[in-house]
Amino acid sequence: MNSTRRNFLKKSGSLVAGAVVTPLVSTKLGATIAPSDTVRIALIGCNGMGHYDLKDHLKIPGVDCVAMCDVDENILNERAADITKLTGKAPKLYKDYRKIMDDKSIDAVIVGTPDHWHCLPTVHACEAGKDVYVEKPLANSIAECQVMLGAARRYNRVVQVGQQQRSGQHWHDALAVVKSQQLGKIRKIKTWGFFEYGKTSPRVPDSPVPAGVDFEMWLGPAPSRTFNTGRFHGNWRFSWDYGGGLLTDWGVHLLDIALWAVDGDMPKSILSAGGIYAYKDNAIETADTQTVIYEYDDLLIEWEHAGGLNKGYYGRNYGVAFIGNNGTLVINREGWEIMGEIESGKPKIEALPLQAADKKDHEKHVSNFIACVKSRQHPICDVEIGRNSAMLAHMGNIAYRTGDKLYWDKTQQQFKDNPNANGLMLPSYRNPWEFPVL
């Protein structure tokens, strides 16, 4: 460790570098697995991130993949062949995740489906006594996030949300500095994402459902719609029925870091503006350009995105900046640095050059999940943390969609005097799927 970095960490009063990241809370969750036992996992949703999640789980000794499920047979067969080659064991294959719930030998599931399909498998897995690694954002609506938290608590399950930054050492190092007040009073936390892929693909005509795809099951609880590749694998992020655009896709990761600094506190008001300004002809419903302002008593959290671009602030296309009276700390997955303010020609704080990340966030996150499955501790990104950051992201989209300045009632967990906005907290589930009741 270089001496400047050591200085910062020492001053922060927390020797976090190299330290083991401890769980958020220590209440024990219903014990089922002995530390020496193999953890038998199943993957639901195998294409992109689910496959990546599974492969990192399989790097941990004592983890077996016993089942895989996808509504697209082509993806399922291709990914299963890959896993069989990797492990030498063929998992059981399913097209309907409910069959996995019936299999008592499965200890845990990974949910790697699109956002509109996170809630039901997670709640059903909790009911079936299985632990869950669910991808971010926790769900595609605030009400689903709440019921998932409720299910995890009611059935005493370990639920880790795929916000892997929570396991990354450099995020812990930087947050310790932020919390130490060396930066002075933090008055603004700026978060942003300028991503090329945020413009999605050009609009294309509807087409027949590809062979091997159970499209009804892909839609699941979402409204009935024709098949269009612009809303299918990967591209669903930019249609409201399945995702919330860059704000819930990347925003949720970065807003989570802002919430970490304020201990999960929710804002008193939310304001957003934006639109489809650059890519009017593309397959996109969510805003390609959007700003959200979250107001606290003496702090602003900001989110800003511009899909299709790749230049952002402080020379980074995405990141978080903690802006304090003495200096600004900027961080993303590459590393973090501090830029000091100058007053009367003198630096108010020592600048800190880039502290490179070890890029092990995801592996550590997955290991933390498996360790918690065995120890029955809450994981580092417990479902409550995932609920909070998904909620913050959805609040921004609800402010954008209503065009109103929204006021959050922390006690009632709803917007004050705004039925329209409160209506957007709830998903409408299509028959035969029902919103879970606990």
Ligand X SMILES: NC(=O)c1ccc[n+]([C@@H]2O[C@H](COP(=O)([O-])OP(=O)(O)OC[C@H]3O[C@@H](n4cnc5c(N)ncnc54)[C@H](O)[C@@H]3O)[C@@H](O)[C@H]2O)c1
Mask for 268-307, x = binds ligand X (CB under 6 A):
----------------------------------------
Q: In what order do the strands lie in the sheet with 352-356?
A: 352-356, 335-340, 327-332, 318-324, 186-193, 300-306, 289-295, 269-275, 406-409, 414-415
Q: By CB under 6 A, what part of segment 330-359 binds ligand X?
A: none
| Measured distance CA(257)–CA(270) in Å, rounded | 18
For ligand X, which is the closer residue by CB, 46 or 176? 46
Q: How far apart are CA 162 and CA 123, in angstroms?
A: 16
DSSP structural state of residue 130: -
Backbone region of residue 252 per phi and psi (left: phi > 0; alpha: psi in -120 to 50; beta: other values): alpha
Q: Which residue is nearest to ligand X (CB)?
A: 48
Instruction: Supply φ then ψ for residue 151, to 5 degrees.
Output: -65, -45
Between residues 97 and 155, which has the closer beta carbon with respect to ligand X? 97
By CB under 6 A, is residue 136 in contact with ligand X? yes
Site for ligand X in 16-75 (CB under 6 A): 44-50, 69-72, 75
Give me the least distance between CB of 113 and ligand X, in Å please. 4
Q: How far is the CB of 348 from ligand X (least distance, A)?
A: 35
Give the Å distances, CA to CA, from 206 to 47, 71, 221, 229: 22, 19, 21, 7
Find the binding residues for ligand X in span 157-196 (CB under 6 A): 162, 164
CB of 17 to ligand X, least distance (A): 24
One-letter identity of residue 119: C
47 vs 169, beta carbon nearer ligand X: 47
**Phi, psi of 111, deg, nearest 5:** -105, 105
CB of 72 to ligand X, least distance (A): 4
Q: Which of residues 388-427 bind ligand X (CB under 6 A)?
A: none
- Pick out residues in 246-265 that bind ligand X (CB under 6 A): 249
**Least distance from C-beta 329 to ligand X, angstroms?**
22
Beta-strand pair 131-134/159-161: parallel
- The DSSP secondary-structure symbol of 38 reads P
Contacts of 422 (CB under 8 A, 6+ apart): 414, 415
Provide the minimum distance between the beta carbon of 336 and ligand X in the complex, in angstroms, as a whole number.
18
CA distance 119 to 387: 11
Closest CA to 338 of 5, 1, 2, 16: 5
State the binding string over 306-335 for ligand X (x if CB under 6 A, else -): ------------------------------
The answer to the question of residue 220 lying near ligand X (CB under 6 A) is yes
Minimum CB separation of residue 122 from ligand X in Å reads 11
Q: Enter the tokens of residue 259.
A: 């919430």
> Applying CB under 6 A, does 112 fall inside the site for ligand X?
yes
DSSP state of 126: H
Give whichever of 287 and 421 is closer to ligand X, judged by the CB atom: 287
At closest approach, how far in Å is the CB of 168 from ligand X?
12
113/388 with CB nearer ligand X: 113
Contact set with ligand X (CB under 6 A): 44-50, 69-72, 75, 97, 112-115, 117, 135-136, 162, 164, 217-218, 220, 233-234, 249
